[in-house]
Amino acid sequence: MADSLAYFLMSWTDLSLLTLTAVGTFAGIYIGAIPGLSVTMAVSILISFTFAWDVNDALALMVGVFCGGVYGGSRTAILLNIPGAPSAVATSFDGYPLAQQGEAGQAIGLSTVMSVIGGLLGVLVLASTAPVLSEFALQFAPRDYFLIAVLGLLLVGSLAAESLSRGIFAASLGAVIGLVGMDPVTAEGRFTMGSMQLLGGIHYVVVMIGLFGVAEAFFQLHQLNVKPVRQNVEKIIPSLNLVLKFLPLSIRTSIIGVIVGALPGTGGDIASLFAYDHAKRSVKNPSKPFGKGAYEGLVAPESANNAAVGGAFVPMLTLGMPGDAVTAVMIGALVIHGLNPGPMLMVTTPHIFWFVVGALVLANIFLLIFGLMGIKLFAKVVELPKAILIPLILVLCVVGSYSLNNSMTEVYWMLGFGIAGYFLKIFGFQMGPIILGVILGPLMDNSYRQAMASVGDSLPAFLTELITNPLSIVLTIAIVLLLLSNFPLKRMIRGSKNAS
Amino acid sequence: MMKNILATLVVSTGTLALAASAFADYPERNIEGIIQWGAGGATDNVARSLTPHVEEALGTSIVLTNRPGGTGVIGMNTVLTKPANGYTVLYGAENPQLYPIMGLADFTYDDMTPINVIGQGLVVIAAPADKEWANFGDLLDEAQANPGTLRMGGTGAGGLPSTVLAMINSVDELDVRNVTFGGDGPGITAMLGGHIDFMPLSLAAAQEHIASGRLKGLAILTKESIEELPDVPPITESLPQIESYLPWGPFWAVAVREDTPNDIVKTLSDAYEQGVANEQFQQFLSENGAQSLNLQGEEAEQFLNRWQSVTAWALEKAGSAKVSPEEVGIPKP
């Protein structure tokens, strides 16, 4: 116990570790804020960079970048309607409307505090129940991942603001985009039209930058002459009352975040969309309508995606299995530093676990400090003349997509999606459902085929498993309830009465 | 007019100077290292552990970039489209040797100049610890008693598990359900949860789980048992006919474009030889269940050809090759 505490406090008491965590968090915020500069990429670069360092130094820096980066994605989502990372997509739904109403400062302030609350709750779960939670996560069979993907696709009802049919179209389009590339089972090209470049698929961040960044920049050209909204930069730090008011929602969505984050194969991007949907369903009287600047719509995804960070470390530290793309890279880093990430990690090197927990808590504290610093300056970004802002956005989009793979192919794709997204926007399509499809399409495809292969490609056997396995039953019931709640049953009954 | 001539002169002298210096002191700038698999995987780990030692020998930086996708086709294609000047090197795994017979691409390592075949990974057939099988023979018996019911974790056509399955099927019969995962990691996760019954894995990925007692090794793909896992029997104990394919395993190699000048190939080969021989890197390989090979030049080419012919014909014999090795000119072993 005393040992654990010593390892926990290691990054707090050692000046160089403290500085590295701080630097990592600060850098992470800005890496996360730029669409296309991803945390995964930053951590991969750090592996080579920190090769000769002590493993604790390297971990402190990476943990900082991870925490800062997941939070940073919300910055540009709120200010420019361009999520810096897929996990901040849901943040833009209500964050950007707030910025347009002159409340960018308050929105960033609130999202910072909620991110930190979510982040700390995630670490708390990691520290207290990691072994139990990872055993629970192992119980998820391929069919359960399939059910989660189906459940996720049903969120389209929440994300498609006005027209459900347009939302379904957009999600299907997204799913097709997500399926481009080599078929994981047969190694045949799918929708690749013979192009070798397409065998690797279309990077979903490219789709996101195009649809949100470029399309948004083009769309704002319509409002060149509209005077930017003056930003109110008073009281940017949310009052205790406000925080307490949203605390229950924040806790609920953090739990969603940490569980989805702990499942290998799903991460903060899916968690934040689930959380947004949960907020929309459970909050009866939001501060403003959802999609028009509801604080609740900001609180939910921001708590969830930061809680997912703690969740992602659960399978990594207990089993040596990645919880998401970033922890996959961090496992590589541990291997290179001569550690053996696996189920024995906590037995042979218990200090790694407590060191990471300590560094995560520390990074969240730095997140609060750095996040609340400079908001006034940032909020002014929205007040920039469009003639300066729009070219700036486009430059960021090009840099971001080029740096994904250091290749122009991604830039062309990004521009293509930008133009397509512009026209889709004009015809009233939402961008959220497309991203939903891109993320969930491949998950649904893989898990369905895994589940079917497991039962010898027998549909009756597959369906029987859905209603005989306890975990699958729960998920199946959730899907049925969600479907029923979308049908206006009461109105239908009343309608039939009136008719008779 | 005078201006034009002057300009031409300046440009051509400049070009000459550049050309001369390119031969004189390679490398004079950073080298780009393209890794054909994603960050955090086995190939990535090998590349990132090896590169600092090579940089030391070479006296320049090697900037590593992951270009994953299409079983490594994308990364290899990227290197093939860059100039053959030694400033772009490929960090690859064994997959390119099977591209033609899987119908993925018409290039292999034959279309490149190997700089170094770094090492070869060992393969272990693993199962959840609560299975009753003591060795691979027991698994084979159960599979033959109930054909098509056991669930094997795979990583798709051309992946390591399918290749091992094909090798087994070319000498015996193992009819299983092949459940495809995105890699060793997701496959092991599914196995820990009891969602699949067994999976052929690289030793690097499996050994920690076997050591912890959650998975057990049924057989190791060697002729003799190995130091790291003394309790796991060699596969030849249960399946002696497979011996002709052994030793077999995934490998990692560094290669450049075929028409790269000889002295540049020589400089790179020497630097990588030193890098692989580095004590720290050797320790990394042995800790990760891999055997060091450190092959250059002709030896490297021989290794690559033998691996290709053994594997491709095993796949053909088991009916898993999409294009016959004969058609693409791969000789029989």
Helix or strand holding residue B44 (H, E): helix B42-58
The pLDDT value recorded for residue A176 is 93
| Per-residue confidence (pLDDT) for residue A496, from 0 to 100 | 56
Q: What is the pLDDT along chain B (333 residues), one digit of tens a residue?
A: 455 555 554 444 444 444 444 455 788 889 999 999 887 778 988 998 999 999 999 999 898 888 887 788 888 988 998 889 999 999 999 999 999 998 888 899 999 999 999 999 999 999 999 999 999 999 999 999 999 999 999 988 878 998 999 999 988 999 999 999 888 888 999 999 999 999 999 888 888 889 889 999 999 999 988 888 888 999 999 999 999 888 889 999 999 999 999 999 999 999 999 999 999 999 999 888 888 999 999 999 999 999 999 999 988 988 888 899 998 889 888
pLDDT given at position A408: 85
Rounded-to-integer distance, Cα B160 and Cα B168, Å: 12
Superfamily of domain B123-245: Periplasmic binding protein-like II (3.40.190.10)
Q: Are residues A200 and B69, on separate chains, in Cβ contact within 8 Å?
A: yes
Pick from B77, B180, B182: which is nearest to A453 by CB? B180
Express the helix, strand and coil content of chain B in percent, nearest 5 each.
Answer: 50, 20, 35
Is A120 inside any structural domain? yes
Q: In what order do the strands lie in the sheet with B215-220?
A: B199-202, B123-128, B215-220
Asked whether residue A148 is assigned to any structural domain, the reply reads yes
What is the reported pLDDT for A498?
54
Contact assessment for residue A305 and residue A250, using Cβ atoms and an 8 Å cutoff: no
Window 48-67 of B, Cβ < 8 Å to A: 48-49, 51-52, 64-67
User: pLDDT at position B20, please?
Assistant: 44
Domain with CATH 3.40.190.150 in chain B: 25-120+250-312
| Terminal C-alpha separation, chain A | 72
Q: Is residue A284 part of a domain?
A: yes
- Structure confidence at residue B15 (pLDDT): 47
Contacts of B85 (CB under 8 A, 6+ apart): B22, B260, B261, B264
Nearest to A336 among B45, B103, B178 (CB): B45
Residue A81 lies inside a defined structural domain of this protein:
yes
Whether A24 is covered by a domain: the verdict is yes
DSSP conformation class of A362: H
Q: How many percent of chain A have pLDDT more than 70?
A: 96
One-letter identity of residue A434 = I
- What is this model's ipTM? 0.84
Six-digit token pair at B152? 């094997």
> Which long-range contacts (C-beta less than 8 Å, at least 24 apart) are formed by B48-51?
B48/A47, B48/A48, B48/A51, B48/A332, B48/A336, B49/A51, B49/A336, B49/B281, B49/B284, B50/B118, B50/B272, B50/B275, B50/B276, B50/B281, B51/A48, B51/B275
A87 DSSP assignment: G
Domain carrying residue A367: 2-454
Write out residues in chain A with pLDDT < 50, as ranges.
499-500
Match 């023979």 to its residue by tokens. Answer: B137
Contact residues on chain B for A183, CB-CB shorter than 8 A: 156
**CATH superfamily of domain region B25-120+250-312:** Bordetella uptake gene, domain 1 (3.40.190.150)
Closest CA to B249 of B204, B301, B284, B189: B204
pLDDT the model gives residue A40: 85
What's the confidence (pLDDT) of residue A223?
A: 81
Say if A489 falls within a structural domain.
no
Residue among A412, A114, A61, A364 nearest A238 (CA)? A114
In-domain check, residue A484: no
Phi, psi of A194 (to 5 degrees): 75, 0
B-chain residues near A182 (CB < 8 A): 69-71, 104
How many structural domains comprise chain A? 1
**What is the residue-wise DSSP string for A32-70?**
HHSTT--HHHHHHHHHHHTTTS-HHHHHHHHHHHHHHHH
pLDDT in tens, A369-394: 999 988 888 888 888 888 888 898 89
Per-residue pLDDT, B16: 45
Do B177 and A47 make contact, defined as CB atoms within 8 angstroms?
Answer: no
